Amino acid sequence: MSKDLDEALVRKLADLLEETGLGEIEYATGDLRIRIAKPTVNATYAAAPTPAPASVATAPATPAAAPPEDGEVVPSPMVGTAYVAPEPGAAAFAPVGASVRKGQTIMIVEAMKTMNPIPAPRDGKIKSVHVENGQPVEYGQPLLVLE
């Protein structure tokens, strides 16, 4: 580490990486840029995956046991922490069965201490919610389904 690098900042970023369960985190301010990543556990995973057929590549990732749902899946646009309500104990933005309007906030994904509202892509009714309040989410992970 260089003399100017704040060791406490590096430790804080490493702790944040562990708390969120992310694989890597990057911080930049001015000329300073810090990237912290977890080491890979098994070198056999370093090989590139076999490309999937085009028809499968466009489908959002879902657990193998979950059958596809009818309706429009709203995926997470980023890695972060999903919040289904504006604060602990408050009513959910969009509970199952609720009608929503295009642009209405249906969830929040927090990334790097920034709260990012997730708007409804269209008018519809909430068919199912796939995340719990405070759950870490990955890019493209289904958040909810609109009928």
pLDDT at 3: 52
pLDDT at 16: 79
Q: What is the dihedral of CA 69, 49, 16, 114, to 10 degrees?
A: -50
Decide if 23 contacts 37 (C-beta within 8 A). yes
pLDDT at 61: 45
**3-class state of residue 31 by DSSP:** coil
Please state, in angstroms and as integers, the Cα–Cα distance from residue 70 to each residue in 53, 63, 126, following that order. Answer: 22, 16, 12
> What global pTM score does this model have?
0.53
pLDDT at 60: 47
Question: How far is Cα 81 from Cα 109, in angstroms, rounded to an integer?
Answer: 5
What is the CB neighbour count within 10 angstroms for residue 25? 18
Phi, psi angles (nearest 5°) of residue 68? -65, 145
pLDDT at 28: 76
pLDDT at 49: 52
Per-residue pLDDT of the chain (147 residues; tens, 9 = 90+): 445 667 887 888 778 777 777 777 777 777 777 777 776 544 444 445 555 555 444 444 444 444 456 789 999 999 999 999 988 888 889 899 999 999 999 999 998 888 899 999 999 999 999 999 999 999 999 999 998
pLDDT at 51: 56
pLDDT at 54: 52
- Quote the DSSP letter at residue 24: E
Exposure string of 31-61, with b = 16+ CB inside 10 Å and e = fewer, is eeebeeeeeeeeeeeeeeeeeeeeeeeeeee
Domains and CATH numbers, the chain: 7-40 (no CATH), 70-146 (2.40.50.100)
pLDDT at 45: 46
pLDDT at 130: 92
